[in-house]
Structure 1
Amino acid sequence: MKPIQTALIGYGLSGQVFHAPFLKTMPQYELVAVSTSKAEKAKQELGDVTVVATPEDIVQDKEIELVIITAPNEYHYPLAKAALKAGKHVVMEKPFVVHSQEGKELVEIAKDQERIISPFHNRRWDDDFLTVKKLISSGALGQITSYEAHYDRYRPQVRDRWREKDVPGAGILYDLGAHLIDQALHLFGKPDQVHGITKAQRAGAEVDDYFHIMLEYSPLQVILHSSSFVRAAGPKFEVHGTEGSFIKYGTDPQENQLKEGKVPGDDGWGVSHEENDGVLTNDKHPEGIRIPTETGRYESYYEQLAEGIRKGESLPVTGQEGLEVIEIIESILQASRP
């Protein structure tokens, strides 16, 4: 397979940690250009990659096949639209867009241009979610009646960064909420009803830093929750069914490993400590049995993406799937308005 000529728009945390390490180490890709104001940092870390000043330089480069957009959320739509119109495939850091109408337009443009557009919902390949997904598929829990997922943290102080400013697409719902919603939709499809609230609980907060979401599937009930005031985290996942229950603590290690400079193939990549293994309780195991945690595999996203671009295989995440996440976010924000 000829390496896909790829460019990054943005080189902040997302570009540095969640994208560049895969683009630089996976043979399916050749990272050829980056658009960033952090030119010296990019040159130091990425070697011979061309650093340009503006996204337009990337969009107009006829050699570039794939554009990865990691700019702030409010710029996802215009940058993706320009890239698609220029004949590029596009990956967008989640959330897909800020407004669902933007997402609908991008899906249509990608179809008309015969190009791929895919939101980067990498948390489908978290070790804990892979474990939950496998356990549900195995039937060990029977029919699922209750699914609860948390993304809690202790961050009582507001930070000086765009995600916490009063700008379009900021706030914890668009950030962590997009992950949890995508995971739920991936498992169960679109819900019958959506309920939810968001709040700004921290002193000086300009945007939401708390959410509580309820998705109704009847009889299945899904709860998705996040707070910035959790010193002692409870379970990450609680899944109950007609035949058993599964409780899982701990978080996937891949983000921290990437920040430490590790990449797929390194010793211990994607492997959690055994103490984070979840516990399954059912008739066969009334006292509970430890379920080994699956190995996290963020690289699966980029493996499947390459197959989609070069061979027309199924995408890891489709634009339509990203759009459905945004529609739910819009519904919750509308319900939360005073």
Structure 2
Amino acid sequence: MELVAEAGSADAADLIARGDIDLLVVAAPNHAHFALAEAALSAGKHVVVDKPFTVTTAEADVLLALAAARQRMLTVFQNRRWDGDFLTVRAMIESGRLGEILLFEAHWDRFRPAIKPGWRERPSEGGGLFVDLGAHLVDQALVLFGRPEALSADLVRQRQQAEVDDYFDLILHYGRMRARLSASTLVTAPRPRFALYGTEGALVKHGLDPQEARLRDGGDVLDPGFGIEDEADYALFTPADGPAERIATVPGCYRTFYEEVAEALLRGGPPPVDPRSARNGLLVLELARESAREGKRLTL
């Protein structure tokens, strides 16, 4: 079996038609995800789709049904599940050291006052900060805590000349626990990337996983230490009855995603991201937009 990870280019139709390609990766503007993935699945290819899975849950449902009918693997590149900071947060929750989590916060702040040309700044092409970063934050929250009972959201355009949302604040309701997911393009001093407050202690983590920045700088995922974070960026754990301590960041590893893709195709293992979970994330995004428009809490 030949595994080739390419798609989303001007000659995507040629790639989809080739008989020597078994796997296509759709890495295109958001609005093109559905059409490219549908064409690839219809041609009998296995498909990896970049996040967001599609623009709507209706499109996602079509792809799920098509993949099942064609018996092809379909998965979504929710790479932030393999961020070191997220893996650290997940390990701390599972350890029980925080006790019962009552407040979970995930922030992703930037300072980008200028409007950049491109599809991400256009509403007609699936742009906006909420789709871009919210797709990651919602996915991480669902992995940690599952489906919320209700949600309430605020989306707004804060920059001059902005055509799409560039700030959001989403609260997921889980009984007496709240998960707050927020991002802004006008924050010069970023809030903690993660902050968790439980009955037995708190965990606060600043900084962003270094893998993407190292890839931009020409790094290789096979380089020794590729996903290792500097000690200065370790999380701070403050227990309820003891001194604070630094928690070493679990090494991030994006290549794990494609190792699991290969395992799924060559040995019949499960895909690294169940596309149904990505579809559930889209549902939260859709309901959050409705909540913001109507100014009210919505039950799932």
Distance 1:296 1:263 in 2: 13
- The amino acid that maps onto 2:233 is N
Establish whether residue 306 from structure 1 lines up as the match of residue 262 from structure 2: yes
Q: Report whether the alignment pairs 1:145 with 2:102.
A: yes
Indicate how the Cα distance of structure 1 residues 85 and 203 shifts in structure 2: closer, same or farther if over 3 A, else same: same
Q: Please provide the CA RMSD for this pair.
A: 1.2
Which residue does 2:298 correspond to in 1? none
State the match for 1:183 in structure 2: 140
Alpha-carbon distance in structure 1 between the residues aligned to 2:271 and 2:174: 26
The equivalences for 1:155-304 within 5 A come to 155-284=112-241, 286-304=242-260
Name the structure 2 match of 1:47. none
- Matches of 2:284 and 2:59 in 1, distance apart? 14
Quote how far apart the aligned CAs of 1:62 are. Answer: 1.4
Q: Is the contact made by 1:7 and 1:58 (CA closer than 8 Å) also made in structure 2?
A: no
Distance 2:169 2:278 in 1: 20
Letter in 1 for 2:46: H
Between the aligned partners of 2:209 and 2:215, the Cα distance in structure 1 is 12
* Alpha-carbon distance in structure 2 between the residues aligned to 1:201 and 1:56: 39
SS in 2 for 1:226: strand
Equivalences, count = 294
Q: Provide structure 1 residue ranges, at least 5 long, that are not aligned to the other structure.
A: 11-35, 37-52
Q: Is the 8 A contact 2:152 2:292 kept in 1?
A: no
Unaligned 5+ residue runs, structure 2? 295-300
After TM superposition, where is structure 1 displaced by more than 2 Å over at least 4 residues in a row?
335-338
- Equivalent AA in structure 1 for residue 282 of structure 2: I
TM-score for both structures, normalised by structure 2 = 0.95
| Deviation larger for 260-269 or 83-92 | 260-269
Shift of 1:59: 1.1
Structure 1 residue 73, shift from structure 2 partner: 0.7
Cα pair 2:227 2:253 within 8 Å, conserved: yes
Partner SS state of residue 151, structure 1: strand
> Which residue of 2 is the match for residue 66 of structure 1?
23
> For the structure 1 residues 179 and 73, does the alpha-carbon distance in structure 2 shift closer, same or farther, using more than 3 Å as the test?
same
Cα-to-partner distance string for 1:125-174 (whole Å, 9 max, x where unaligned): 11110100011011111121111000110011110111011323110111
**TM-score normalised by the chain length of structure 1:** 0.84
After TM superposition, list the pairs within 5 Å mapping 1:105-116 onto structure 2.
Answer: 105-116=62-73
Query: Counterparts of 2:3 and 2:269 in 1: how far apart (Å)?
Result: 19
Whether the 8 Å contact between 1:98 and 1:168 is mirrored in structure 2 is no
TM-superposed CA distance for 1:287, in Å, is 2.6
SS of 2:219 mapped into structure 1:
coil
Equivalent position SS for 2:87: helix
SS of alignment partner, residue 54 of structure 2: coil
Residue by residue, what CA displacement relative to the aligned partner does 1:251-277 show, whole Å, maximum 9, x if unpaired?
111011101111123133111111111
Corresponding residue SS for 1:167:
helix
Separation in structure 2 between the aligned mates of residue 288 and residue 71 of structure 1, nearest angstrom: 44
Q: Distance in 2 between matches of 1:55 and 1:224?
A: 35
Partner of 1:18: none
**Counterpart pick for 1:330 among 286, 292, 298:** 286
C-alpha distance in 2, partners of 1:206/1:184? 27
Structure 1 residue identity aligned to 2:177: L
> Residue 4 of structure 2: SS of its match in structure 1?
strand
Which structure has more relative contact order (CA 8 Å, sep 6+)? It is 2
Structure 2 Cα separation of the partners of residues 273 and 5 of structure 1? 34
Which residues in structure 2 correspond to 1:5-154 (within 5 Å)?
A: 5-10=3-8, 36=9, 53-154=10-111
Structure-1 residue corresponding to 2:276: 320
The one-letter code of the counterpart of 2:14 is D
SS at match of 2:89: helix
Amino acid at match of 1:142: G
The alignment-based identity, stated in percent, is 41
